[in-house]
Amino acid sequence: MLVSGQLRICCLLRLARKQGFPSLWQQAAPQRAFKTLRERGAARWREGSGGDAVRSGRGGRYDSHPGQREQGRERGGNGRPMAGNGGGGAGRLFEELRGEALYGVNPVLGALKAGRRKVHVLYVQDGLETGKRKDGGAVARAVVAAKAAGGRVEAADKHDLNLLVDHRPHQGLVLDCSPLEWSTMNIFPEAPAALRAAPAGALPVWLALDEIGDPQNLGAALRVAYFLGVTGVLCCGKHSAPLSPAVSKASAGAMERMDVFSCASMPRSLTQAASRGWHVIGAGSEPSAVDCRGFKLSRPAVLVVGSEGRGLRPVCRRICEDVLRIAPAPWASGAEREVPEGVDSLNVSVATGILLHHLLAGDCAA
């Protein structure tokens, strides 16, 4: 009976193959290939030594952390979409991808305006009705800018673009371009020199992001830093989310327009900043921290923000001259209200925005 059943299965498989039905292996192949491509990617940078801050090149590897969904650059590697149902135009896009797939109107337009990336191909969603969109003019400008930068402009199916960017919101634009690298911080500038270079009446403020591994948080922090006009942004080279398309999208393209510096050791850089006259200020939530509403800034400062999960590392906290906290809204009686568990703290990018706005406000400086 067992032999008879096996022969019957073999006959059915031969009949299905003869009639052109794809095998289960062929049907699953494109999905396996796309999954492999999504899981590939590494952020690379070079840690410089000596001299002033310079634009970095390629170098070491960023080690991803378990549980962090978007780590590394989503770039095509050696794995390619295999033949079978579902490959189609998306397989061709993967095959032809020369850099990384930057997606979204603001990141793409920002990258083309900044001119810091090598442009290969701008993919525009086929049948995109720009006349009905408020960003329709931006799409047209992106097409003109891509051609001016020496890149090709091609129409692509929406489904293929969805697969190329792992179903992230591309808004009809995907740019095949070179990766954006870190700028390397070797020596922190002298505070007096930074003060002389700042606009009249303004105190320079740097933002130091210590091990911000979530791309959404990093991108949102870069967006608020660019909007509020910080002097510079410094990230810890290790255990930081790379400058990926996901970060650029979360920053609304601000990442494309600003230098983001990387250091080999955040504690060493903060110690150097303190020795050069900078007021190193940490962000915390403990009751012993200073309420930011009563804090007055009197000299150039560096605001240090830690990851949302564990906050500021003790090795960095010890270097901070002051630690600021954001108090929740008071009740009518004047006492701080009791905040339920789960909302007893702020998202790291929101806290960064509040503290930066306070430090950079005109009435904050003594």
Structure confidence by residue, pLDDT tens digits, 147-172: 999 999 999 999 999 999 989 999 99
Return the pLDDT at 154.
94
Question: Between the ranges 34-38, 233-237, 272-276, where is the mean pLDDT highest?
Answer: 272-276
Express each pLDDT in 338-353 by its tens digit.
656 666 678 999 999 9
Between 60 and 244, the more confident residue is: 244
Tell me how far apart the alpha carbons of residues 60 and 194 are, in angstroms, rounded to a whole number.
31
Residue 361 vs residues 201, 231, 293, 353, 357: alpha-carbon distances, Å? 11, 14, 12, 12, 6
Q: Please tell me the least confidently modeled range out of 74-88, 124-138, 163-177, 181-195.
A: 74-88
- Residue 113: phi and psi, rounded to 5, are -70, -40
- Burial tier of 303 (Cβ tally within 10 Å: 0-12, 13-18, 19+): buried
pLDDT band at 44 (very low <50, low <70, confident <90, very high): very low
Two tokens at 6? 């096996």
Return the pLDDT at 227.
97
Return the pLDDT at 186.
81
Where do the structural domains in the chain lie, given as residue ranges?
89-178, 183-329+338-360
Return the pLDDT at 150.
95
Q: Which of 142, 168, 40, 149 is nearest to 94 (CA)?
A: 40
Q: Please tell me the least confidently modeled range out of 78-87, 94-103, 259-268.
A: 78-87
Return the pLDDT at 83.
34
26 pLDDT above the threshold of 90: no
Q: Please tell me the least confidently modeled range out of 108-122, 302-316, 322-336.
A: 322-336
Q: Please tell me the least confidently modeled range out of 1-5, 75-79, 141-145.
A: 75-79
Neighbours of 209 (CB within 10 A): 26
Average pLDDT over residues 90-116: 91
Q: Please tell me the least confidently modeled range out of 74-83, 200-209, 326-335.
A: 74-83
> Domain 183-329+338-360, what fold?
Alpha/beta knot (3.40.1280)
Q: Is the pTM of this model over 0.85?
A: no
Q: Which of 64, 41, 73, 45 is nearest to 260 (CA)?
A: 45
Question: Between the ranges 202-211, 283-292, 307-316, where is the mean pLDDT highest?
Answer: 202-211
Return the pLDDT at 1.
52
The answer to whether the CB of 230 falls within 8 A of the CB of 355 is no
Tell me how far apart the alpha carbons of residues 16 and 11 are, in angstroms, rounded to a whole number.
9
Average pLDDT over residues 48-66: 33
87 pLDDT above the threshold of 80: no
Return the pLDDT at 42.
33
Express each pLDDT in 244-270 by its tens digit.
999 999 999 999 999 999 999 999 999
SS3 label, residue 218: helix
Between 205 and 201, the more confident residue is: 205
Return the pLDDT at 58.
34
Start-to-end CA span in the chain (Å): 92
The helix, strand and coil proportions of the chain, stated in percent and rounded to the nearest 5, come to 35, 20, 45
Between 217 and 51, the more confident residue is: 217
28 pLDDT above the threshold of 50: no
What kind and span of H or E run contains 220? helix 215-228
Beta-carbon contacts of residue 190 (< 8 Å; ≥ 6 apart) = 276, 277
Average pLDDT over residues 132-155: 88
Report the chain's mean pLDDT, rounded to a whole number.
78
Tell me how far apart the alpha carbons of residues 106 and 127 are, in angstroms, rounded to a whole number.
20
The answer to whether the CB of 87 falls within 8 A of the CB of 57 is no
31 pLDDT above the threshold of 50: no
Tell me how far apart the alpha carbons of residues 57 and 162 are, in angstroms, rounded to a whole number.
30
> Domain 89-178, what fold?
60s Ribosomal Protein L30; Chain: A; (3.30.1330)
Share of the chain above pLDDT 90, in %: 53
65 pLDDT above the threshold of 50: no
Beta-carbon contacts of residue 253 (< 8 Å; ≥ 6 apart) = 104, 106, 107, 108, 109, 110, 111
